[in-house]
Each structure stands twice: as structure tokens, then as C-alpha cells.
A and B are shown apart, each in its own frame.
Chain A
Amino acid sequence: MNLKLHVWRQAGPEDKGGFVTYQAEDISDHASFLEMLDVVNEGLIARGEEPIAFDHDCREGICGSCGFMINGQPHGPLQTTVCQLHMRTFEDGAELWLEPWRATAFPVVRDLVVDRAAFDRIIGAGGYISANTGSAPEANNIPVPKENADLAMDAAECIGCGACVAACPNASAMLFTGAKVSHLGLLPQGQAERDDRVLEMVLQHDEEGFGHCTMHGACQTACPKGIRVDWIARLNRDYRQAKTRRPGEAGLVGA
């Protein structure tokens, strides 16, 4: 199949950037979207041009490295990552616009590559259970209701790709943050730090320049891992509870 691609090219963070049009020719419909870009890049290299930069690693939909906008949709038309999106999804002759995630907290690095280090800092602010190596009790000493374990796993499946932020009109990272707060808050092991965790993570989230959640719901539709807005509701409840228990402590009102 053949396609017409308008790709965002930007040489570096300071560069203004703009769309450049390429033809993708003779693409197998079994190829993944990234394999299609590999073919385009091989053509560019052969012509002495610089290939399109995009993040990727596992190409199995699990590492969360890949992701960009295809015709205004994060990861394209299906609820999957671009590395797991296959060309048979598109019509022969389709015209596609590829852009990086757009968010103040995700500055563009080059072409389709953005800087998502803000996510690491949100986790560093409290997205963990403080259990130094060696301090753990025997694993089966604390039973965890199966329902909770399953729900925690649902929330823990987030791959940190950033599509939720790119989809959100406010560029909020509440789906990402809510998923981690819920994963750990659902487990008995996560209770001791539950209040601090939610307060600190939300504070960090806001300091990074992500917007507030107005329950638009676009994040859930874009998420390749089926992370649900329920986790944002849970985060809000935990946040309010923590605030009431500890008035005057860290955290911005209204998050």
C-alpha cells in the first residue's frame, strides 16, 4: 500500500519545527506502524537525509517508549500503542499527519520525541511503598483479598506512555497519577503512606505544569492499556480524605 505522510520535523528543542511531506511506498499491510516508518527512514538515509526520530524499544506495547499523534489521535485510531498498530488498519492511499505529544510538561526533544521525565518525578514524589530491601515479612503473612489484588493490577498496567496527557484538553496527567495512587492504595502494604502519597504526587503533578482534570474523559479513550477514569475518582477521594486528616499540609486545593 501507499500513503502520504505529513511528519512533524523539528531539529531540536529550540527549533521551530514544521510539517514535511513524505510518500510511504510499497508498504506491506502486515507491517506495524513503526515498521512502516523504518521503511520510510531507510529511504531517507539512502537519499542522504536524516531519518525521522521517534522513541521505541520493546515494540510489543509494554515499555511505553513509543507514541505520537496520528491525525490528532494519540497512538492513532485504535486503542493500542503505535508499535502494535498495523498498517492494515489504514486504507491504501491514506493521508496521515504525525505529530509529537503536545504538552508544556512534555517538551519536544526532536521530531516525534518528547521529554517525559516529569512522570519519573511524579513517581519519585510518592509513587512507591517504602520497603527497604531485606525488611519484608514472609509474603503470605498478609493476605490480600483477590478482588483488591485484581483491581490493583488493573491500575498497575499503565505503561507510562503519556497518551492520556496528549489527549487531554488540559494536558492533565491525572490518569497516570490516579492509576499509581490507586494501585498502591488498594493494597494493605500501601496503607501507611497513603495520605502522604496522594498529597505529594498531586503537588508534584501540578508543579510539573500538567493541567487540572475537568473530567473530560479523553484520557481513557486514548489509553492503550484500558486504564479507567475510575482511578481519578479514587484519587480525588483519597486526596480529600488526606486533606481533611492533615489540613495545612502539602498539596494544591482543587486538584
Chain B
Amino acid sequence: MELNARIPSGPIQDKWTKHRFDLKLVNPANKRKYEIIVVGTGLAGGAAAATLAELGYNVRNFCFQDSARRAHSIAAQGGINAAKNYQGDGDSIYRLFYDTVKGGDFRAREANVHRLAEISLNIIDQCVAQGVPFAREYSGYLANRSFGGAQVSRTFYARGQTGQQLLLGAYQALMRQVAAGKVKMYTRHEMLDLVVIDGVARGIVTRDMLTGRIESHVADAVLLGTGGYSNVFYLSTNAKGSNVTAVWRAYKRGAGFANPCYTQIHPTSIPPSGDYQSKLTLMSESLRNDGRIWVPKQQGDRRAPHEIPDSERDYYLERYYPSFGNLAPRDIASRRAKEMVDEGRGVGPSGVGVYLDFRDAIQRLGRDVIADRYGNLFEMYRNITGDNPYEVPMRIYPAPHYTMGGLWVDYNLMTTVPGLFAIGEANFSDHGANRLGASALMQGLADGYFIVPLTVGDYLATAKPPTVDTSHAAFRDAEAEVARRQDALLSVNGSRSVSDFHRELGRLMWEYCGMARTADGLKLLLNRIPELREEFWRDVRVPGSGATLNQSLENAGRVADFLEFGELMALDALERDESAGGHFRVEHQTEEGEAKRNDERFSHVAVWEYREGAAPIRHEEPLEFEYVQLAQRSYK
């Protein structure tokens, strides 16, 4: 597997400009001769499909929901970063670049990150022109807030529904192209395989989720904007349908998978409350500005929170990190909460949770001020838990939230399979080992609106893919394989439901490949996952037929892929024998218990190559830091 990142030469601030000039162009009259498949209608896929159609290409766009508008990007709350420096507080492209590289714990590619920071400006312009109703000041100019520990105010937002509004902007642009006949939309279609002919991506195989029909689609280029894989943990903040299937199929057809072990655990989610629990709900991180996090000092203290006097409470973040206190970064706050629970000092009915207490803030500022700041969040919390956070402390616990790993891509966002591109959360992206708040939306839109439409053109102009059609043996074989797999799932007829297996996989991944990982735990996991996979294929029960809408069958296919993918994730976590960002190996920590990188051995991207019937091969793309100096993070 050759890993040529194709990073343009020259000073970092000129690379993208120069590269844009060097990219080959497709003649406007010829664009309509090309067919492009875009899988995904989130910020990345939706933006790419709309823009490619505007340029004149014929686009086919796929999603598994009943409408493009429901892609998981819709759920993003907090905001989107851009280095506009509208607040005049010293922000700049360079500062956003710097913060992102550092925040990613020095495991991202400098050139990509700088490009992202440059494009952030265009994104805001584009979204405003589309009618995204961003928050504004009384002057009529755009408002900003600070987010995720940044020292400048650069986050643009639309109430608590920024993802929704950005996605609706992209969706509306997309629907305009659908009506114009330039995009053909395939909703309720799930991509189940990638077709590679002569080493080049030439199409996909899908299942029509209403009729069960298995269909082939030919194209000159294939783009995957299929989102992240946090649902490998079963319980996460992602939507129920979020899956690894599309990228996993691509991996098995030859696309390198980069850094699968880099996952982000968000510290402030509502804790799980019972076995029936289907997902975890995120509570905005902003709550940590005024809430104090604590657990009882005494193990197994079951008293109601107000009966526990201050002297018997452990405000552990304030104790460990006197200067950052409750605002310690996501990964650190998450890990410490797990420690408390593991020590038997967790709170709530299940003992899995810590308190986020507003008592002191309400005493200091008054209930009205707190209501003004967090009223809607308090309502949401009350609606879900039945508790009133004005009177009893909230209970929170970390939850899987975002995945920094994904398909490896070069500077053009092309995977190791020529003609196959990966965008948005589906690629291994620009976030290194940890993503900063409000930067996933930025990356999805940068990829979709501004980068991939140009780089796909360059690919088409250079590669000039020859004509093939769906009668080609590669399509026939892929269709047969998809059908065979589906029949296999339907015919096991065992005793356990798909969700039951998914829950078990999730528990294992969370325990051994979640917030804190050890070599022993990972080895155990590497033994246990193949066993569970074998049990799945022997004992799963998928009712119904393949010829209709069958939600159990859809889910079964996704869980089957998670059961393969989980193993690669654990392997990657084991091989990365250092701590970095969201990947915390217990063996590698500083005296204060912080993540300790090993730059000598691991300043690289780990890229996995699939081999049929044999262990995957680990390749390395070295990372060099020319502009941001390697340093240890400190939040003491």
C-alpha cells in the first residue's frame, strides 16, 4: 500500500492556493459526461453533491434515512468555528490552525489543518448567503461565542441547533439540484459494497430498503460522506442508524483505514438509566462553566445529594486541576469521571454517574441568571430524567461522541483506492488524536463545498476512467456477495436478537477500548470479539424477509460489520503503545496522570491494509511538524 499524501510544496500559507492552481480542470462542456456517486447527505455529502451538480456533473446521492434532511449532522448543537476575527480579539487563520494542531495532540497533518482554517472564512460567507439564520448582534452583524476552551470567540451558532441549520442550508441547495435534474436522490438506500475494477473505484452496490432490491450503480468517481462509527460502543450520542458499514466495505475493497482507535468521549452526557436505554443524550459542555462536579468521598454513599455535607464531597476536578478546575479538557474530565465510578463512588440509581451541581452558582448569581443561561438545557434534562436540576444536582457521565479515525485520504481527500474519496467524519481528517469543539461542522463543510469538488475534477481530468457498465463481472460478483450475506443473516434463525449482540459488543468496547486502555484489556478484547462474532453468526435471530422494509435486517448488517471493525479498533489501540489525545493507554501517563505521547515512535498516522484471511498490515505515514512545536499539554 503506497501512502503518498501529495502535500504541495512551499510555505504553509501558500500551499492550498498553489495547489488549486495546479489542479487539472474538466472543461465545462464535458462535466455533464461524468457520473459521480455521493454516499451520504450530511454536511459533507450534502454539500459535495449540491456543489458538484452546480458545477455540471451528474450526481447520484444516497442516504439511508427517508429524507436527505435527516442525516446525523442535524443533531449538532453548539456551533461552527471560523477565523473571521469579527470580535477583534486576536484571532487569525494561523491561530485556528495552531489551536487545532495542538488540540489534536500533534497527530494531525499540518498542511490539511491550515487549509481547513483558511476555508473556514468561506464557509460562513456561503452559509449566510444560503439563509442560515446565525445568531446576530443588535447591530445586525454576526454574533460569536467562545467554545471548547479556545481563548478567542470564533464560534458561529444558530441557537442550540447549529447543525440543523447548516444541514438545512446544504439540503436546500441539494433539493434545488434534484428539482433541476442534476442530482438523482436515492433515499432509503443503503450502500452495502464498493465495486473496484482494475484497481479503481467504479461504483457501489445498494439495497433498496423498501423493496429489498439489490442494485448496482456505476460511476466515474465515488465519494463517501457516511459519518462516524461511535455506535461501535452501542450507546453513544450518535443517531441510531450511524454505522461503519460503508467505510468498512471500502476498507475490505482496498482502502486504507487510518487511526481507528482515535475516538472522542464527551464528558457531559446524561448517564444511562437502564437496559432498555437506546442512546445517550449530550448535554452542552457550556454547563461546566457554572456547574461544579463532585462525588461523595465515601464509597457506596447512598445518601441523597443534599444530605451529604461539603466536607464529605470530593470536587475532584478542582482538586486535581486547581487552575482549570471543572473546565479541564474533554478527555481528562471524562477519564476522571470513570475513575470515580470505578472506585465505587459513582452516583445515581446505577452508580454510573457523577454530580454536576448548580447549588453554589444559584446561590451566587440567583436562579434567574442560571435560568437565562441554561434554561432550555435544564428543561431537556428534566424531561429526560424527571429530575429538576434547580433543586437536585444533575447527573452526568461520559459518552462516545465522535471518531477521529476513518479512511485514510491524501491532500485531495482521495483514499488509497483511486477514484474513491472520503469526506467529513468518514475520513481520518484533520483532527489528529482529539477534536476541538465546533470543528467537525467546519471540516464537513470545507470538504464538501470547497475541497472535494475541485479535487474530483482533477482526478477525472487526469485519470479519464474508461467506460464500464453494471454487466461487468465485478458488479455481478459484488451483488451476489451482498445477496449471499443477506440470506446468511436471515437463515441463522438463532435465539438472540441483533440488539442483544450489539449491546454486548458495546459493553466490551467501552470497558476495554473506551476512555482508558491497557495492553491486557485490549488483548482480552482481541480474543473475545472473534468469539462474539462467531456466536453472532451461529445464534442471531433476524425475523422477516429480505424483500420488504426490514429494520432488523438492516441493523443486523450494520452490527455484523461493527463486530469485524471492533477488532481492528482494538488492534490499533494495542499497537499504538503511547497515549495521545482521546487514546489513553494507562501504561503511558505522566506523574500527574496525563496522557504521555511517544513522539519518537508514534509521530505518524497508522494506516491498516486489509488482507483476506490474514492479519491486516499496519503502515505508517510519518507526521512532521514544521510550524507548531511539539509540546506536552498541561492543564494544571
Listed in ascending order, the chain A residues whose CB lies under 8 Å from chain B are 11-12, 27-32, 34-36, 38-39, 42, 44-46, 48-51, 53, 55-60, 62-65, 80, 84, 86, 88, 109-110, 113, 115-117, 119-121, 123-125, 127-140, 142-146, 149-150, 152-153, 156-157, 159-160, 183-184, 187, 189-190
Task: Tell me, yes or no, whether B51 is within 8 Å of chain A by CB.
Answer: yes
B70 touching A123 by the CB < 8 A rule?
Answer: no
Distance to closest chain B CB from A190 (angstroms): 6
Task: Tell me, yes or no, whether B548 is within 8 Å of chain A by CB.
Answer: yes
Knowing A38-B276, A143-B141, the reply to whether A128 touches B176 (Cβ < 8 A) is yes
Contacts of A139 in B (CB 8 A): 84, 124-125, 127-129, 142
Bound together, the chains give a CA A109 to CA B187 distance in angstroms of 14
A35 touching B165 by the CB < 8 A rule?
Answer: no
* Complex interface: stretch among B2-10, B167-175, B530-538: B167-175
- Name the residue in B50, B131, B137, B239 with the highest tally of chain A Cβ atoms < 10 Å from its Cβ: B131
Bound together, the chains give a CA A146 to CA B141 distance in angstroms of 8
Knowing A50-B543, A63-B75, A144-B136, the reply to whether A129 touches B274 (Cβ < 8 A) is no
Contacts of A59 in B (CB 8 A): 239-240, 278-279, 281
Contacts of B50 in A (CB 8 A): 133
Bound together, the chains give a CA A39 to CA B165 distance in angstroms of 33
Bound together, the chains give a CA A146 to CA B274 distance in angstroms of 44
Knowing A45-B543, A49-B543, A133-B453, the reply to whether A30 touches B385 (Cβ < 8 A) is yes
Closest to B64 in A: A57
Contacts beyond the supplied A58-B239, A143-B139: 18 A-B pairs with Cβ under 8 Å = A27-B276, A36-B276, A45-B497, A53-B551, A57-B72, A57-B240, A58-B75, A62-B164, A63-B65, A64-B70, A123-B175, A129-B172, A136-B125, A139-B124, A139-B128, A139-B129, A144-B136, A146-B136
Bound together, the chains give a CA A244 to CA B54 distance in angstroms of 32
- Name the residue in A12, A128, A136, A159 with the highest tally of chain B Cβ atoms < 10 Å from its Cβ: A128
Query: What are 13 residue pairs bridging A and B, where the CB atoms are less than 8 Å apart in the complex?
Result: A38-B499, A45-B541, A48-B541, A62-B161, A86-B384, A86-B386, A120-B178, A124-B175, A133-B47, A139-B84, A139-B142, A143-B141, A153-B165
A135 touching B129 by the CB < 8 A rule?
Answer: yes
Closest to B48 in A: A133
Contacts of B165 in A (CB 8 A): 153, 156
Residues 436-464 of B, flagged 1 when their CB comes within 8 A of A and 0 if not, give: 00000000000001100100000000000
Contacts of A80 in B (CB 8 A): 383
Distance to closest chain B CB from A241 (angstroms): 19
B386 touching A30 by the CB < 8 A rule?
Answer: yes
The tally of residues in B whose CB lies under 8 Å from a CB in A reads: 77
Knowing A62-B161, A139-B84, A143-B140, the reply to whether A120 touches B125 (Cβ < 8 A) is no
Closest to B385 in A: A30
Knowing A50-B544, A65-B65, A136-B128, the reply to whether A128 touches B549 (Cβ < 8 A) is no
Closest to B498 in A: A45
Contacts of B68 in A (CB 8 A): 120
Shortest Cβ-Cβ A-B pairs, 7 listed: A143-B140, A136-B129, A124-B179, A128-B172, A131-B129, A124-B175, A136-B125
B131 touching A113 by the CB < 8 A rule?
Answer: no
The secondary-structure label for the interface of chain A is loop
Knowing A65-B66, A127-B175, A138-B125, the reply to whether A28 touches B273 (Cβ < 8 A) is yes
A123 touching B138 by the CB < 8 A rule?
Answer: no
Q: Which of B230-265 contact A (CB under 8 A)?
A: 239-241
Contacts of B210 in A (CB 8 A): 109
Knowing A57-B240, A184-B131, the reply to whether A62 touches B75 (Cβ < 8 A) is yes
A156 touching B168 by the CB < 8 A rule?
Answer: yes
Distance to closest chain B CB from A208 (angstroms): 13
Distance to closest chain B CB from A40 (angstroms): 10
Bound together, the chains give a CA A63 to CA B240 distance in angstroms of 11
Bound together, the chains give a CA A143 to CA B69 distance in angstroms of 28
Task: Tell me, yes or no, whether B418 is within 8 Å of chain A by CB.
Answer: no
Closest to B159 in A: A153
User: In the complex, which of the residues A48, A120, A153 contacts B133, with contact meaning CB atoms closer than 8 Å?
Assistant: A153
Task: Tell me, yes or no, whether B491 is within 8 Å of chain A by CB.
Answer: no
Task: Tell me, yes or no, whether B67 is within 8 Å of chain A by CB.
Answer: yes
User: In the complex, which of the residues B65, B133, B187, B241 contacts A183, with contact meaning CB atoms closer than 8 Å?
Assistant: B133
Distance to closest chain A CB from B449 (angstroms): 5
Bound together, the chains give a CA A249 to CA B352 distance in angstroms of 63
Distance to closest chain B CB from A149 (angstroms): 4
Residues 30-59 of B, flagged 1 when their CB comes within 8 A of A and 0 if not, give: 000000000000000001001100100000
A149 touching B128 by the CB < 8 A rule?
Answer: no
B551 touching A51 by the CB < 8 A rule?
Answer: yes
A137 touching B141 by the CB < 8 A rule?
Answer: no
Task: Tell me, yes or no, whether B158 is within 8 Å of chain A by CB.
Answer: yes
B240 touching A56 by the CB < 8 A rule?
Answer: yes
B240 touching A88 by the CB < 8 A rule?
Answer: no
Q: Which of B157-216 contact A (CB under 8 A)?
A: 158-159, 161, 164-165, 168, 171-173, 175-176, 178-179, 185, 187, 210
